[in-house]
Amino acid sequence: MEIGYSTKKTLVPIIMEWVSKSRIQKHIAENAIFCMWAGDNGIQFNLSNLSQSYQVKHIVPDLQIYCLSFIQNIKPVLEAWCSKNNIQVMEMNIRFRFDLLVFNKNITLRIKQDDTAYREYLDNKST
């Protein structure tokens, strides 16, 4: 499904709102771009903009495990965004950059007809 520009520009602020309420926020360098659109249906996270101590503790041991865990934590936000924008199915590429390393994961978001849980998630963010 092709997503319009006006719809796309709402996702990164929603993700960054989630980030701002999570523990990761205090590890992002000031004025750093942590999340942005990458391509037509992709989001990119720049893990190099996280503090050195956070990188050593969470990312360096196993980039893949960290990225997969991050995706699981951000997935409810992505599903809520899809539901709010009446997107029933969406293929999304999530890319993580860490120095010279890149981890890509393609995911499919499917929103059920009864999307009450997704709509309520936006109101009950508990991260």
Q: What does the block give as tokens for 38?
A: 């990458």
Dihedral sign from CA coordinates of 62, 103, 77, 125:
positive
Work out how many domains the chain is built from and give that number.
Answer: 1
Domain-located, residue 29 = no
Contact 111, 118 (CB under 8 A): yes
Domain-located, residue 47 = yes
Domain-located, residue 79 = yes
Please give the residue range of the domain that contains residue 45.
5-22+35-123
Domain-located, residue 109 = yes
Domain-located, residue 28 = no
Distance CA 12, CA 43 (A): 8
Evaluate if residue 127 carries a pLDDT over 50: no
Domain-located, residue 68 = yes
Confidence (pLDDT) at 120: 59
Instruction: Note the pLDDT tens digit of each residue in 60-118.
Output: 999 999 999 999 999 999 999 988 888 888 899 999 999 999 999 999 988 876 655 55
Residue 123 gets which letter from DSSP?
H
Evaluate if residue 1 carries a pLDDT over 90: no
* Residue from 50, 14, 8, 16 nearest 122 by CA: 14
Contact 46, 97 (CB under 8 A): yes
* Residue from 112, 71, 113 nearest 93 by CA: 71
Q: Decide: pTM greater than 0.85.
A: no
Residue 58 DSSP SS3 = helix
| Range picked from 1-5, 30-34, 117-121 for highest mean pLDDT | 30-34
Residue 59 gets which letter from DSSP?
I
